[in-house]
Amino acid sequence: MIITIRSQATSEERAQLMALLCRITGSQHPITTTKMGRREVIVLDDNRIDAQAQDALSQQSAIDRLTNVKTPYQLVSRVFQAESTNIVIGNAHTCNPVTIGGAVPVIIAGPCAVEDREQLLTTAHAVKQAGAQILRGGAFKPRTSPYQFQGLGVEGLHLLAEAREATGLPVITEVMEPNLVDTVAEHADILQIGSRNMQNFPLLLAAGRHSRKRPVMLKRGLSATIDEWLLAAEYILAAGNPNVILCERGIRSYDPQTRNVLDLSCVPLLHELTHLPIVVDPSHATGRRELVPTMSRASIAAGAQGLIIEVHPDPNVALCDGRQSITPEQLQKIVRETRVLARMMSDEGSLSHVA
Ligand code: PEP
Ligand code: MN
């Protein structure tokens, strides 16, 4: 259950509510509130709220609204917030800000890993030219083998910041450790939490609590259920950061023909369950560059509000994930197709509205 506190509640009204909540929950500690944009909310464990408690709460003048969400995830639920969340990426002082969550799909593109200055700057200019609005690039790489290229670390963050300055594109990069959240947030416009870390709870909390409140792109765990994924997102919101983007990147199956299985049915399903924006990563989902254009179109048709695509000027020599990386020319075609599809879908939407 979610309690939304009335913004004009007096300190007496708030104190009365907090005292009641301590009685209901048996808590010895002060009740913590969470900021959701302009709203201030308290999330309660449903098991502790019986009919009598609900009755007592409904009479509290400090409360604007009581929401019975009825799912384990609460703040991310569409029941709590009917309107879709739009997230502004980037700060106008340092780049061209972009909004994720609306009808216009956002294209995020760039190399799997930041390899060196020339590779990153060449790719950044090329993806911008191809129509991408956000630059991706891994500085800290979660690699399956300890002998593979692990990324440039902090040096990679500096190169990403340089690429942003050179192109105006906001940048996204992965953070793997809670104690690096502040450092990554200093340089990046979006924090990426990778598939392998979807349930790294200290990392989720750190991404929720950090002071810059950078938007977080939370990739689906290698074999996570939708509920586990939404609960992982809930950690970030509950810790105080409402700006979470979900990213479907395929789930593990038994067939080695593709790297993963792209679960596109999760896109319309998530739109029902949550107000958070959803993007698809057709590169990691398939692991094969020849499948990326088709699955990009399919993702947009399914309702994805963005794509994150691995692009390399020369995929065959990429230090990481070259097999699934496309060229800037191939990206340009995907961007064009995406725009046509999105336009078609919004025309269709207005027509069905009339019908
Ligand atoms: C990535 O996007 O660089 C990455 C490692 O992806 P994932 O976490 O989805 O495997
Ligand atoms: Mn990759």
pLDDT score for 347:
84
By alpha-carbon position, which residue is closest to atom 6 of ligand 1? 194
By alpha-carbon position, which residue is closest to atom 3 of ligand 1? 112
pTM: 0.96
For 307, other C-beta atoms within 10 Å of its C-beta total 27
By alpha-carbon position, which residue is closest to atom 9 of ligand 1? 195
pLDDT in tens, 146-187: 999 999 999 999 999 999 999 999 999 999 999 999 999 999
Contacts (Cβ under 8 Å, ≥6 apart) of 197: 142, 176, 203
**Of 242, 303, 305, whose CA–CA distance to 77 is shortest?**
242
By alpha-carbon position, which residue is closest to atom 10 of ligand 1? 195
Q: Counting beta carbons within 10 angstroms of the beta carbon of residue 139, is it exposed (0 to 12), middle (13 to 18) or buried (19 or more)?
A: buried
- Model confidence at 223: pLDDT above 80: yes
Ligand 2: distance of its center to the CA of 93 in Å?
Answer: 29
Token representation of residue 166: 């050179």
Ligand 1 atom having least distance to the Cα of 112: 3
- Model confidence at 355: pLDDT above 80: no
Task: Please state, rounded to an integer, the average pLDDT across all residues of the chain.
Answer: 95
pLDDT score for 351:
55
- What is the rounded distance in angstroms from the CA atom of residue 142 to the CA atom of residue 154? 15
Residues touching ligand 1 (Cβ under 6 Å) are: 112, 138, 142, 174, 194-196, 219, 249, 281, 284
Q: Counting beta carbons within 10 angstroms of the beta carbon of residue 30, is it exposed (0 to 12), middle (13 to 18) or buried (19 or more)?
A: exposed
- How would residue 350 be classed by pLDDT, with cut points 50, 70 and 90? low
pLDDT in tens, 262-286: 999 999 999 999 999 999 999 999 9
Ligand 1 atom having least distance to the Cα of 250: 9
The arithmetic mean of pLDDT across residues 296-321, rounded, is 98
The arithmetic mean of pLDDT across residues 235-253, rounded, is 97
- How would residue 353 be classed by pLDDT, with cut points 50, 70 and 90? very low
Among 160, 174, 312, name the best residue to mutate to test ligand 1's pocket (greatest count of ligand atoms within 8 A of Cβ). 174
pLDDT score for 262:
98
Q: Give 303's DSSP letter.
A: T
pLDDT in tens, 111-144: 999 999 999 999 999 999 999 999 999 999 999 9
- Model confidence at 352: pLDDT above 60: no
- What is the rounded distance in angstroms from the CA atom of residue 245 to the CA atom of residue 258? 25
- Ligand closest to Cα of 289 equals 2
- What is the rounded distance in angstroms from the CA atom of residue 273 to the CA atom of residue 131? 31
Task: List the single range of 48-62, 95-109, 197-211 with lowest mean pLDDT.
Answer: 48-62
Ligand 1: distance of its center to the CA of 266 in Å?
Answer: 18
Ligand 1 atom having least distance to the Cα of 196: 8
CB 229 within 8 A of CB 220: yes
Ligand 1: distance of its center to the CA of 252 in Å?
Answer: 13
pLDDT in tens, 38-96: 899 999 988 878 889 999 999 999 999 999 999 999 999 999 999 999 999 999 999 99
pLDDT score for 292:
98
- Model confidence at 354: pLDDT above 50: no
